[in-house]
Amino acid sequence: MDSFTHLALGACMGEAFAGKKLGKKAMLWGAMAQSIPDIDFVSAFWMETSANLLAHRGFTHSFLFCAILTPLLAMLAEKLHRPHNIRFWPWMGFFGTAIFLHIFIDAFNNYGVGWFEPFSHYRVSFNAIYVADPLFSIWSLVACLVLIYLGRRSALRKNWWRFGLGMSAVYLLYCLFNKYQTDQEIKQVFKAQKIAYTRYLSTPAPLQNWLWYVVAGTDTGYYVGFHSVFDTGKQMEFEFFSRNDSLLKEVHDHRDVDQLIRFSQQFYTVEKWGDTLVFNDLRFGQMLGWQSKRGRFVFHFFLNHRNDNKLVVQRGRFRGWNLETVESLMRRVRGN
């Protein structure tokens, strides 16, 4: 999830754990603990882009990292806050829970999380919620702001941290329900339209959880389409994109290629834009794909212009957006 959401969730957790004993300092501890796995952003300063894609949400989002950092933070907090009546083991439980919640929530996005690093490079991704979903974030953000405003001894503080954490949990469950319902309906569509596939992916389109981006196919290529939970028809329109593995022969000796294929979890295509060879990771969606069926993919990596890839994950995410784009998204969300 985005950094503001992690900060707000952590602050609510800190308040729940030790707000009565530490006051608003507890919120700071929670915000810090919830954010610390994202320390891996510093790797971008020295790593090449393709390697940094794998480093992000890698080891610092693993169970091992959680296990190593939890006692270190617990010892630091226990020492700094003496003589408060919070012993080492409660601190351990708090920091362990806060860090684990970060890496757990991030697994619901489409980027993938390296829970088992460094023993396994397998990435966990449940693809159930967009990385920045206002309806997931708003509850904890509002609760955090109110907790900052309220006095330390206010009787309302408990209600607000419960509101922030509870409503976020309810919305996440709602997203999982949408995910399950969407997958069941789409698989029936594939069966009815006699579309064969060996790989399948569904993930929310930007900023909401009702319109879903769908990818399915084989090593030859992928069918791409959109499905709203409010669609009434039993048919879907798909666009087919050839994978074009043969184009990679031009750059087979580039170390970027193996890293990109591993990162994409095999959901990729290769294209030529003029004289530029482009690697697309399909998991991140299409730019305005709900209104442009052949729209370019959000994640596109220039294989023979490597210095132009610094913002490869972000650069296509909201390119071309305006008021008309938002209106078209809302119309598509409402269903066919």
Q: Tens digits of per-residue pLDDT, 34-54?
A: 999 999 988 878 888 899 999
What pLDDT, on a 0 to 100 scale, did the predictor assign at position 312?
83
Distance CA 303, CA 197 (A): 27
pTM: 0.93
Determine how β-strand 221-228 pairs with β-strand 211-218. Answer: antiparallel
Q: pLDDT tens digits for 101-132?
A: 999 999 999 999 999 999 999 999 999 999 99
What pLDDT, on a 0 to 100 scale, did the predictor assign at position 131?
94
Is the model's pLDDT at 335 over the cut of 90?
no
Query: What sign for the dihedral angle of Cα 61, 62, 65, 69?
Result: positive
- DSSP helix/strand/coil, 279: strand
Q: pLDDT tens digits for 10-42?
A: 999 999 999 988 999 999 999 999 999 999 988
Ranking 48-62, 197-211, 222-236, 247-261 by mean pLDDT, the lowest is 247-261
Decide if 225 contacts 237 (C-beta within 8 A): yes
